[in-house]
C-alpha cells in the first residue's frame, strides 16, 4: 500500500532542483508510488486539538524551471497523513520552534521526519557540544571576557552566530585583530543569542566534509572545498563539491554519533567535519543528497525511504 506523504517546506517554486535534497526525497517518494502533498509552514493552524493546513497535491519532475505541478488547495488535518517531511530551511527561530510544537502533536500516528521534538532539542551548534572529544576547542558565549580569554588561549578563531545557517556571518578572527572590536559590537547588536567561537582549523582550505547519516548509519559524503578567497565552503557560498571517502577518524565520529541520533529519532542528519574534527550536526533540513549522487555516490534518498517505509510497517 502506498503512503500518504506531506512535505512542509519553503515555497517549492524557489528551490534549485539540481542541488535540493528535499526535491530528491520527493522524486524518490513519487517513484515508489507514494501520494504527495505540499504546504508551507506559515499555513499550519491549531484549532482545539486539530493541526491542519491548506495542502495541495504535488507532482514533481526533474526538470529545472518546470519541476512541479500543484493541485487546488484543500484544508486537511495533518494527522490524516502517514508521513510528514519536516523540510523547511532555517533560520531556527521562534517560528521554527513553534512549528515543531505543532507537528509534535501528530505523533505517533503520523511519522514526522525528522522527529520535531528532537529537532527542537538539538540545535545544530549546541547538540554538537555533547561530543567535545570529537570537536576542536569551542566556546558558546557572548561575554567579552570569556571570548578574549579563549582567543588568548587558542589564537586564530572562527566566530559565528549560534543559530546561523548557510555560512552567513562566519568570520575568522586573527590574534591581535584590529577588526575584533567592531565585529564584537556588530554581533552584540545583531544577535541576541550567544555566539560560537571555535579554534580556527587551517585544514578548512582542503575542504569541509558533509557526511550524511541515515538512521544513525553512514550513507554518503561529499567534500566541499571553499573558494581561494573565502573561509566558507558551503556550496551556496561558492564551495565546490568533490568526491571523497571517510578517514578512520571520520568513521569513528559516525560510530560515536549513530546511537545518539537513532535514540532521538533523527533519521536524516548531515554532519560537518573539517580535518577530522566535528564542527556541526545538522538536523533541521540537511543537504548534500544530490551532490553526492552527482559525484557517483550512493542514492541516499532511496536509503531514507527504505527506513521510512520500514517504520510505517510496510504500508
Name the catalytic one among 114, 223, 234, 282. Answer: 282
User: Residue 237, class by beta-carbon neighbours within 10 Å (0-12 exposed, 13-18 middle, 19+ buried)?
Assistant: middle
| DSSP state at residue 15 | -
Name the catalytic one among 87, 120, 160, 199. Answer: 160
**Strand partners for 225:** 240
Per the CB < 8 A criterion, the answer to whether 292 and 300 are in contact is yes
Name the catalytic one among 125, 151, 199, 264. Answer: 125
Name the catalytic one among 82, 215, 272, 290. Answer: 272
Judge if the upstream peptide bond of residue 114 is cis by omega within 30 degrees of 0: yes
**Cell 520552534 belongs to residue:** 97
- Please confirm, yes or no, whether 192 is among the known catalytic residues: no
Q: What is the C-alpha to C-alpha distance for residues 1 and 33, in angstroms, rounded to an integer?
A: 9
Q: Strand pairing of 4-8 and 35-39?
A: parallel
Q: Is 121 helix (H, G, I), strand (E, B) or coil?
A: helix
Q: What is the C-alpha to C-alpha distance for residues 34 and 167, in angstroms, rounded to an integer?
A: 34
- Please confirm, yes or no, whether 299 is among the known catalytic residues: no
| DSSP state at residue 166 | T
Q: What is the C-alpha to C-alpha distance for residues 52 and 310, in angstroms, rounded to an integer?
A: 26
Name the catalytic one among 232, 264, 290, 303. Answer: 232
Q: What is the C-alpha to C-alpha distance for residues 90 and 87, in angstroms, rounded to an integer?
A: 9
Neighbours of 264 (CB within 10 A): 19
- Please confirm, yes or no, whether 105 is among the known catalytic residues: no
- Please confirm, yes or no, whether 250 is among the known catalytic residues: no
- Please confirm, yes or no, whether 282 is among the known catalytic residues: yes
Alpha-carbon torsion angle 160, 162, 168, 170, nearest 10? 10
- Please confirm, yes or no, whether 210 is among the known catalytic residues: yes
**Cell 572590536 belongs to residue:** 181
Name the catalytic one among 224, 264, 290, 303. Answer: 224
Q: Which residues are catalytic?
A: 125, 160, 210, 224, 232, 272, 280, 282
Amino acid at each position: 500500500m502506498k503512503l500518504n506523504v506531506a512535505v512542509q517546506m519553503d515555497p517549492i517554486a524557489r528551490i534549485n532542483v539540481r542541488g535540493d535534497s528535499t526535491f530528491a526525497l520527493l522524486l524518490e517518494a513519487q517513484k515508489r508510488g507514494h501520494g504527495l502533498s505540499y504546504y508551507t509552514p506559515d499555513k499550519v493552524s491549531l484549532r482545539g486539538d486539530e493541526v491542519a493546513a491548506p495542502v495541495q497535491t504535488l507532482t514533481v519532475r526533474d526538470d529545472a524551471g518546470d519541476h512541479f505541478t500543484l493541485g487546488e488547495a484543500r484544508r486537511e488535518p495533518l494527522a490524516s497523513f502517514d508521513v510528514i517531511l519536516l523540510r523547511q530551511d532555517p533560520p531556527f527561530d521562534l517560528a521554527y520552534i513553534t512549528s515543531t510544537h505543532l507537528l509534535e502533536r501528530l505523533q505517533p500516528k503520523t511519522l514526522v521526519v525528522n522527529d520535531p521534538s528532537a529537532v527542537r532539542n538539538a540545535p545544530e551548534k549546541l547538540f554538537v557540544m555533547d561530543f567535545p572529544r570529537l570537536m576542536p576547542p569551542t566556546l558558546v558565549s557572548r561575554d567579552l571576557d570569556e571570548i578574549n580569554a579563549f582567543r588568548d588561549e587558542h589564537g586564530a578563531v572562527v566566530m559565528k552566530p549560534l543559530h546561523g545557517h548557510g555560512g552567513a556571518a562566519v568570520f575568522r578572527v586573527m590574534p591581535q585583530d584590529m577588526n575584533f572590536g567592531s565585529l564584537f559590537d556588530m554581533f552584540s547588536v545583531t544577535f541576541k543569542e550567544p555566539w560560537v567561537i571555535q579554534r580556527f582549523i587551517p585544514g578548512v582550505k582542503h575542504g569541509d566534509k558533509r557526511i550524511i547519516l541515515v538512521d544513525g548509519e553512514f550513507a554518503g559524503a561529499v567534500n566541499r572545498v571553499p573558494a581561494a578567497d573565502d573561509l566558507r565552503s558551503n556550496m551556496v557560498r561558492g564551495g565546490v563539491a568533490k568526491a571523497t571517502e571517510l578517514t578512520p577518524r571520520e568513521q569513528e565520529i559516525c560510530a560515536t554519533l549513530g546511537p545518539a541520533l537513532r535514540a532521538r529519532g533523527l533519521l536524516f542528519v548531515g554532519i560537518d567535519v573539517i580535518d577530522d574534527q566535528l564542527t556541526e550536526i545538522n538536523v533541521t533540513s540537511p543537504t548534500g543528497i544530490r551532490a553526492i549522487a552527482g559525484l557517483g555516490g550512493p542514492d541516499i534518498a532511496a536509503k531514507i525511504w527504505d527506513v521510512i517505509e520500514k517504520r510505517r510497517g510496510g504500508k
